[in-house]
Chains A and B, each alone.
Chain A
Amino acid sequence: MSDPTTVGAAELRERIARRELSSVEATRAYLDRIARRDGRLHAFLHVDEEGALARAAAIDAALARGEAPGPLAGVPVALKDIFVTRGIPTTCGSRILAGWVPPYDGTAATRLRAAGAVLLGKLNMDEFAMGSSNENSAFGPTRNPWDLQRVPGGSSGGSAAAVAASLCALALGTDTGGSIRQPASLCGVVGIKPTYGRVSRYGVIAFASSLDQVGPLGRGVADCALALEVIAGHDPRDATSLPAPVPRYRDAAGRGVRGLRVGVPTEYFGAGLDPEVAAAVTAAIESLRAAGAAVVSVSLPHTEYAIAAYYLICTAEASSNLARYDGVRYGLRVERPTLQGTYRATRAAGFGPEVKRRIMLGTYALRAGYYDEYYRKAQCVRTLVREDFRRAFERCDLLATPTSPLPAFRLGEKVADPLAMYLCDAYTTSCNLAGLPGMSLPCGFTAAGLPVGLQLLGRPLEEETIFRAAFAYEAAAPGSARRPPDPDALTGAAGAAGTAGAAPAATAAEPT
């Protein structure tokens, strides 16, 4: 058959299951592609060539014996390096974990394996998932496949870039304040953050425990639907995971949006929103209306407080979650004559500046006597934000917004200004505070050829509704997602994407 890397996970699985091609062929094709192209993208932190080929061969052998193919049989996937993988180095993008080889598998890795997936390797990320550009990786940034001078977003930037550049058929990421959706948006792929508790966090290195959630990134909606079916569901190892049954999300395809009420929150279209992004998202919403959805205007009045509350809660929880990296049991140890000295030297050398900043902010917020003023107050805001959504969802079935206020920005552009970087999360953090499911899917391009993402938010545990709308939109606007040009063809100059094979004729107006 033709190049197996040109199709998404769902399609590839069918071809492998029908034995039109082998998992080894598909795996080899992806490994070749990684070898040729990842040098410039730097999406991977670790490629497990040997393990992947052995696994692929085992899957092929099982299929040859007539065993029933798993839902991801033979499909080459990759994991953000926040997922703990037995026997495969796991760094979380941090020097403090460099060289750590975990003795256990997290639930996501276990479920992917059980479904027949082939693990290609581990993907780059902002250190401990703290960042919106992948520039906080201790091992160097990932670049955006659409323009190598630009960031892929973060913190699951490696996952989004790898999927966009077809270096894997599917990837998993995590989303604490937008870390799946924002990079999906900036790289032109589909990414969903499910309801808090929908997917087990066991074996996911914690950043902010009450906000972290696992989700897939794929080239199409069906890829994400399939992946979520595999990884979702109750896990006795995660006390916060929900016991609700997991629907077959792929069945949401073809059901259309007739009768769905799509809410458009006015607060998400205000100052700070790039006009090209606004135009593309508005056009996408129009396309949903044209397909039969009712579009209503709604208000989420506490949106402006969400970012502040989010950064208080996530830093507080992070300061606690990162206390275990002390050099005593695993990872980096910088030895000094005293215990206190070893702690200090290890953490000073092991953590990058953004992680240190957040540990300090969170430690400050949790100090005795300040807890009420900061953490508790932030939790109150969180309740208000959740209440905003509950009220809005009385009037609509899902919300449609931009995912990110801006398309991909240039490397280095915001590094010196953490607050500007934090504002990249303006449209994504509320969803985490409220624990809701949210998806970003491609909805066109800017004039410079940079992808724009449409964000769909749903009620708790109503991922199905999101998938229904996403499938409908994807069918109505087939050109909204494209493959980026090969990095080799890029000159790296701004706007160079336009000179590559896929001309960015598609603009904001394309989906309609």
Chain B
Amino acid sequence: MTPPVVYEAVIGLEVHAQLLTRSKIFSGSSTEFGAPPNTHVDPVCLGLPGVLPVLNRAAVDCALRLALATGCTVRRRTRFARKHYFYPDLPKGYQISQYEEPIAEHGAVDFEVGGQARRGRLRRIHLEEDAGKNVHRGTTSLVDFNRAGVPLVEIVSEPDLRSADEAAGFMRTLRQLVRWLGICDGNLEEGSLRCDANVSLRPRGRAEYGVKTELKNINSFKFVRDAVAHEIARQEAVLRDGAAVVAETRLWDADRGRSAAMRSKEEAHDYRYFPEPDLPPLVIDEAWLAAAQGQLPDLPSARCARFVADYGLPPGDAATLTAERDLSDYFEAAACAHGDGRTVAHWVLGEVLRALKRTGAAATAAPVGPLQLAGLCDLVRDGTISGKIAKEVFAHMVTTGRGAGAVVAELGLARLSDPAALEAACRAAVAGNPRQVAQYRAGKTKVLGFFVGEVMKATRGQADPAVVNDILRRLLDAP
């Protein structure tokens, strides 16, 4: 008996990212999301007769940043092409895209799955314009062209991914990167980041690829994993039945947790690509490339490694701190001001993240800024307040927006370390607990902790435990 065939999944992703430029890729209208329908439009993005596209250089800047961050080769002379199909949301009957000459090729995205390093190579990155949006109301369909002409990059991976988890991991890292670079807000639900997946199966060990299907309508991370996992299982069932996978485009239905065939390969469009004659070739000269390189921030992986090395952070903490560039900037500003990165990391990963989550604020607009946090850490380090009091101070800082010093002074939370001031509290503790005094004097000196606790209670935790210890010992040891 031959053992059953073990199948291996082969997955490639095509990701569309809306670029965060102020105006559209070929005209001056705003790219803002959520405006009333057809208010961010102009003759060019509406494709009126006689209009011509003019390339927005800011969109090229965004594409260059991504290309450099993923180690792509930048094509120094690229052309735009027209991709033709008829659809009401496509005003010109063609989309201006790039075909034979994409702006960047041969890069990679490094990511982790279950602690294992993985690499998803990039085949290409190209610039194109977004289409409008059809809105269906009963038997009527309306078109909103606000989105028409919003700049996109399409990122095409090589078929390097082997599981649904890898596909999700790749996507997560890519999202982190585009957000980090400030070129896309990475919102899958609003469609500013979109993902199509090409999935095929082959017997493990075989070099040739199997027949692939394309999955569309994947608009959350959960769906990336679910849709790909479902498709792998579906194809495996087909193959185990002895049937053949049909090359087709399938639409993921998240509500039902399954996909349905949308169109077969035979029905696929002939896009009749040809070079866009209205746009001269895009030439990226040395100066432009150097400027893009100069604007590139250090990347999340590099910054994560640096946090481990420079601040002695555990890798997991460093990874969390570098998930978002704003948060890592926050951490670094506070750590530099305070000096001890581990203390600051502890605060950022705890109180700060909680506060951000609660208030919904971005790290750049945190209720307690990085320098304020550093000030709080300073007060703990120099003994002005205890760590426990510091949490209380932080809470006040969040609500009042004031600095740590001001809050401590206002609420009188500074540590009590003047022996004269603590003497009375210690005496009261000793006087009020004769039984424990007797135990102590009988040699059970551990009871000292009990007295310290009483004094701390009486001083709402502000007493300096070392000073309290000294006083109590003197009082108790005295005959």
User: What is the interface of chain A, defined by CB distance below 8 A to chain B?
Assistant: 83-84, 90, 92, 97, 100, 102-104, 106, 201-206, 208-210, 236-240, 316-317, 319-320, 322-324, 326, 328-330, 339, 343, 363, 366-368, 371, 375
Contact = CB atoms under 8 A, between A and B. Distances in A.
Contact of B49 (A210, A324, A375): A324
A237 B54 contact: yes
A367 B270 contact: yes
11 contacts: A102-B50, A103-B48, A206-B50, A208-B277, A209-B278, A236-B54, A239-B280, A240-B52, A323-B93, A367-B270, A371-B273
Given A102-B48, A316-B274, A326-B86, A239 B94 contact: no
A203 B43 CA distance: 10
Nearest to B89: A328
Contacts of B88: 326, 328, 339
Contacts of B274: 316-317, 320, 366, 371, 375
Interface residues of B, number: 29
Contact of A102 (B49, B91, B270, B273): B49
Nearest to A212: B277
A324 B92 contact: yes
A388 B341 CA distance: 72
A322 B48 CA distance: 11
Q: Which 3 A-B pairs have the closest CB atoms?
A: A323-B93, A209-B277, A366-B272
Given A324-B49, A329-B48, A363-B272, 9 more contacts: A102-B48, A104-B43, A202-B52, A203-B50, A203-B51, A240-B278, A329-B91, A366-B272, A367-B270
A90 B49 contact: yes
B47 interface: yes
Contact of A317 (B91, B277, B280): B277
B53 interface: yes
Contacts of A367: 270, 272
Contact of A324 (B54, B91, B271, B278): B91
B230 interface: no
Nearest to A375: B274
Contacts of A320: 82, 84, 93-94, 272, 274
Contacts of B92: 323-324
B237 interface: no
B48 A104 contact: yes
B254 interface: no
A323 B91 CA distance: 9
A317 B275 CA distance: 10
Contacts of B54: 236-239
Interface in B26-80: 43, 46-55
A79 to B, nearest CB: 12
Contacts of B277: 208-210, 240, 317
Given A210-B277, A323-B86, A323-B92, A106 B50 contact: yes
Contacts of A104: 43, 48
Contacts, number: 97
A316 B279 CA distance: 16
B58 to A, nearest CB: 16
A118 B30 CA distance: 35
A84 B271 CA distance: 29
**Dominant SS at the B interface?**
loop
Contacts of B93: 320, 322-324, 326
Nearest to B49: A205
A252 to B, nearest CB: 29
A3 B382 CA distance: 100
Contacts of B47: 324, 329
A433 to B, nearest CB: 13
B143 interface: yes
A363 B269 CA distance: 13
A443 to B, nearest CB: 34
Contact of A84 (B50, B86, B279): B50
A319 B279 CA distance: 18
A205 B91 contact: no
A189 B280 CA distance: 34
Contacts of B49: 84, 90, 92, 97, 100, 102, 205-206, 324, 330
B254 to A, nearest CB: 26
Given A209-B277, A240-B280, A323-B94, A368 B51 contact: no
A56 to B, nearest CB: 26
Contacts of B84: 320, 323, 366
> Which of B53, B92, B143, B277 has the largest count of A CB atoms less than 10 A from its CB?
B277
A237 B52 contact: yes
A449 B48 CA distance: 43
A264 B180 CA distance: 64
Contacts of B43: 103-104
A33 B143 CA distance: 46
A239 B53 contact: yes
A322 B86 CA distance: 11
A316 B276 CA distance: 12
B358 to A, nearest CB: 47
Contacts of A316: 274
A18 B113 CA distance: 83
Nearest to A211: B277
A101 B90 CA distance: 21
A329 B46 contact: yes
Contacts of A319: 272
A210 B82 CA distance: 14
B454 to A, nearest CB: 80
B50 A368 contact: no
Given A323-B86, A324-B92, A326-B93, A239 B52 contact: yes
B91 A368 contact: no
A85 to B, nearest CB: 10
A319 B272 CA distance: 10
A368 B272 contact: yes
A322 B272 CA distance: 14
Most buried by A among B48, B50, B277: B50
B152 to A, nearest CB: 19
Contacts of B48: 84, 102-104, 329-330
Contacts of B143: 328-329
Most central of B143, B272, B278 by chain A CB within 10 Å: B272
Interface string B267-304: 00011111001111000000000000000000000000
A371 B81 CA distance: 13
A146 B277 CA distance: 38
A205 B278 contact: no
B23 to A, nearest CB: 14
Contacts of A203: 50-51
Given A316-B274, A371-B273, A343 B86 contact: yes
A80 to B, nearest CB: 12
Contacts of B271: 368
A329 B144 CA distance: 11
B125 to A, nearest CB: 22
Contacts of A323: 84, 86, 92-94
Interface string B143-155: 1000000000000
Contacts of B272: 319-320, 363, 366-368
Counting chain B CB atoms within 10 Å of each CB, the highest count among A90, A100, A203, A367 belongs to A203
A97 B272 CA distance: 25
